A and B are shown apart, each in its own frame.
Chain A
Amino acid sequence: MSDTLVLLDHTAAGALRTPVRELVTLARSLGGAVTAAWAVDGAEPGAQTLAELGALGVTQVYRLTSDADLHAPAVLAEGVAGLLEATGARTLLATSSFENKEVAAHLAVTTGAGVVTDADTLERVDGTLVAGKTVFAGTWSTRCAVRAPLAVVLVKANSVVATDAEAPVEPQVTEHAFTASPSASRVRVVERTERPATGRPDLGSATIVVTGGRGTEGDFTPLEELADVLGAAVGATRVATDEGWIGHDAQIGQTGITVSPRLYIGAGVSGAVHHRGGMQASGTIVAINSDPDAPIFEIADYGIVGDLTTVVPQLTAELRRLKG
């Protein structure tokens, strides 16, 4: 059984991003050893991070270092390609972000890898990797086999529950230095501004998401209060971000962030197909809307026809009371 390499998405401060734990959990289920790549793009894997990875069962952490900017996906892809070749790992797992899709596309061209994006399941069937994913705005499920010897699978957040390995290990840390080709360095990252932390979970990987749309009429305060009681992230529809009620980075939808939390609560969200494409794969969908004909009710597990400005604060107060 060949090894699986996991790309370790991390913050600028050196903390693992939440979905990485899910990736490692999934990688263990495939058999073979689980190794990991950390792009040294300013932050190093600290002792706590290594302990966390060890608990998850990662045996090897490769520090990818380069003379070129590892924030450029073309550069990172060259480093990862070299690492796959050097270690013999035949499967790469990474979170399904736009940056990693760029890395995956480069790898498809340069290494012959078969790529699946937005996977929500992954298993080995008679030696072949088979990934599951939903398509057409979450309305269809598909299973897709990788026919190439090298597989790159990008996995959606919240696809599996992260668990530690049966026995913790102490990961070996090895440097993998590489020189980027001139062609990979042709894109110059002139500026890069990390988004400041909001104190709430990342929208893309949060287990609970509270979303506001046109029906909020611009006032997200009740939603933010609900989110804080639930430890949830706050998202929005395209209308709400276009109106400037909240930043564009909060936009959930086909062209924004795709979320698949355990619990999605939409308030004043009509459920246009563009938005549904970014949230329909959520576990439980709750919708609060004053319009009984809003399309979101067609996909909601629990729908309330009512005024969000009274229902949401009442929900928040009741949850606060129940939590004591």
Chain B
Amino acid sequence: MKIVVCVKYVPDIQSDRRLVDGRTARDGGDGTLNELDENALEAALAVVEAGGEGSVVVVTVGPDDAVDAVRKGLQMGADEAVHVLDDAIAGSDALGTARVLAAAVRHVGGADLVVTGMAGLDGLTSLVPTALAALLDVPALPLAASLEVTGTTVRVTRNLDHASEVLEADLPALVSVTDQANEPRYPNFKGIMAAKKKPVTTLTLADLGLDATLVGDAGSRTQVLEAAPRPAREDRVLVNDTGDAGVRLAAYLVENQLV
């Protein structure tokens, strides 16, 4: 069983996140492995452990610092890492990112199972997993709250807005997992030391044989025209309850025609 886990390096959600020229600023030194991708790593490691054999390759696409994201994956227990690093990738939309990831998965010889997080906590579009599956021509089983591999079949349960589902597909397949799927392990000292010896391969678009015009700003089908911090809310009211706060709130809601 060979599993590729795709992870993203994102600005820490507790940090002051900004857009510069329509792109997420990644220069704050506050970057981190996307929290939801820890669930993807945990799910992949658990599948290998349950099956008693297999390997996990962790792949990321991003600037220099993004290597920290795959290092964390190696510390958790992944066997090897790939970092696709190329200036031409900056400004990619979800499809552009999926194209780079698909090329990287092919470059490492394909996978029986590709696992991703349910979303990147910066863009939150949730488009990449399904687009990646489509590009790899494998079935997509997104938003798994649980995941089970039996023989060559993968089965997931998922909770949607209006229904819950059980989905099944034959491998190879792609699964994205939610933060309900598991409790990610913390890298222990042994894991951190072992990770230092694990291989991290850095690849360019040329190494992947990917045409630079298909990715980055050049390949993006959407363009951010404007971006600005939203103005702070005005006329804010803060009261200490002295016994009649509920009554006063009711008056506020009625006065502002909110109810």
A interface residues with partner B (beta carbon < 8 Å): 11, 71, 73-74, 97-99, 101-102, 104-106, 108-110, 112-118, 130, 134-148, 183, 186-195, 202, 204, 208, 230, 248-249, 254-255, 257, 262-263, 273-274, 277, 283-286, 288, 292, 297, 299-307, 310-319, 322
Per-residue CB proximity of B117-131 to A under 8 Å, as 1/0?
A: 011011111111111
Per-residue CB proximity of B98-122 to A under 8 Å, as 1/0?
A: 1000000000000000000011011
Q: A141-B228, A311-B249 are in contact. List 17 more A-B contacts (CB 8 A).
A: A11-B162, A97-B160, A108-B221, A117-B125, A140-B18, A140-B19, A140-B230, A144-B223, A147-B220, A186-B139, A189-B166, A189-B167, A273-B14, A283-B258, A302-B236, A305-B238, A305-B240
Residue B53 CB within 8 A of the other chain: no
Residues facing A in B162-188 (CB within 8 A) are 162-170, 173, 178-180
Q: B129 to chain A: which residues have CB within 8 Å? A: 105
Q: CA separation between A273 and B241, bound complex, in Å?
A: 25
Tell me whether B250 and A322 are in contact (CB under 8 A): yes
Q: A314 to chain B: which residues have CB within 8 Å? A: 244-247
Q: A143 to chain B: which residues have CB within 8 Å? A: 224-227
B interface residues with partner A (beta carbon < 8 Å): 13-14, 17-19, 22, 36, 93-95, 98, 118-119, 121-131, 134-135, 137-143, 155, 159-170, 173, 178-180, 220-230, 233, 235-241, 244-247, 249-254, 256, 258-259
User: Smallest CB–CB gap between B124 and chain A, Å?
Assistant: 6
Q: CA separation between A142 and B237, bound complex, in Å?
A: 28
Tell me whether B241 and A310 are in contact (CB under 8 A): yes
A-B contacts, 5 of them at CB < 8 A, read A115-B95, A142-B224, A189-B165, A204-B161, A305-B240
Chain A: CB-nearest residue to B179? A255
User: Smallest CB–CB gap between B243 and chain A, Å?
Assistant: 8
Tell me whether A148 and B221 are in contact (CB under 8 A): yes
User: Smallest CB–CB gap between A171 and chain B, Å?
Assistant: 24
Q: A110 to chain B: which residues have CB within 8 Å? A: 134
Chain A: CB-nearest residue to B258? A263
Tell me whether A301 and B161 are in contact (CB under 8 A): no
Tell me whether A101 and B130 are in contact (CB under 8 A): yes
Tell me whether B221 and A105 are in contact (CB under 8 A): no
Among all A-B residue pairs, the 5 with the closest Cβ atoms? A314-B246, A306-B241, A114-B221, A105-B130, A318-B250
Tell me whether B13 and A137 are in contact (CB under 8 A): yes
Tell me whether A118 and B124 are in contact (CB under 8 A): yes
Tell me whether A99 and B237 are in contact (CB under 8 A): no
Q: B179 to chain A: which residues have CB within 8 Å? A: 255
Q: B17 to chain A: which residues have CB within 8 Å? A: 136, 139-140
Q: A113 to chain B: which residues have CB within 8 Å? A: 221
Q: CA separation between A136 and B124, bound complex, in Å?
A: 9
Chain B: CB-nearest residue to A306? B241
Tell me whether B165 and A186 are in contact (CB under 8 A): no
Q: CA separation between A310 and B249, bound complex, in Å?
A: 13
Tell me whether B253 and A263 are in contact (CB under 8 A): yes
Tell me whether A286 and B19 are in contact (CB under 8 A): no
Q: CA separation between A301 and B238, bound complex, in Å?
A: 8
Tell me whether A303 and B239 are in contact (CB under 8 A): yes
Tell me whether A105 and B127 are in contact (CB under 8 A): yes
Chain B: CB-nearest residue to A274? B13
Tell me whether B250 and A284 are in contact (CB under 8 A): no
Tell me whether B259 and A144 are in contact (CB under 8 A): no
User: Smallest CB–CB gap between B195 and chain A, Å?
Assistant: 27
Q: CA separation between A144 and B137, bound complex, in Å?
A: 29
Q: CA separation between A299 and B169, bound complex, in Å?
A: 44
User: Smallest CB–CB gap between A68 and chain B, Å?
Assistant: 13
